[in-house]
Structure 1
Amino acid sequence: MAEVENIQYGNIWTGERAGSATAVQLAARKCRMVMFVAPNGNASDVYLGGSGVTVAAGTTTTTAGYELQPGAQTPWIPCFNLNQFYIICDASDDDILWMAVE
């Protein structure tokens, strides 16, 4: 088994989720950690969060997602299933890529 930050894992999965102007849930996939990447080819930002995620609007809110500009990535995020995450995009044809380990 390999290790990521001293955590053993056995399986690695990768995938892509097409963007949307409304919040969409990621696929069900058991995992221990996940990393997200906004592809360089995206036209604008992708926002990552829970079921009520919204785009950042420059106001005080508790639903604005974690912003990923084109080419940006998250650190490894501990989680038990990829479907805990939702995305919403400024441009509906933008995507998000992910890598999950179990």
Structure 2
Amino acid sequence: MNAVGPRDVDVVGAGSDIWWIIRTVYAPDHRDPADLTFVRKILVLSMHISLFTLAMTSVLWARRLHIEITRMVVSSARLVHEPQVVCAKEILGHWQRISAH
């Protein structure tokens, strides 16, 4: 496993900022479970974050960040059969399988 270096810490800090933005700005209106604009935005954002993190730091940080964001997507969206939610579940399963090795 890679040691955490300054670049890792910087990106993790940036990840925390992004996480705060997601939770406060992009959070869905829980009174309206059909709000899937949120799901679409987060899926795209999570892909970009994962690629950025993977490019800047270790694979481990990219996996952790992606898993956390994907979990939030799945738990926030209530329409289980919506394609974006199914996709999020598949992404989460994919990253969990990789992380298990």
More helix by share: 2
More strand by share: 1
TM-score normalized with structure 1 length: 0.23
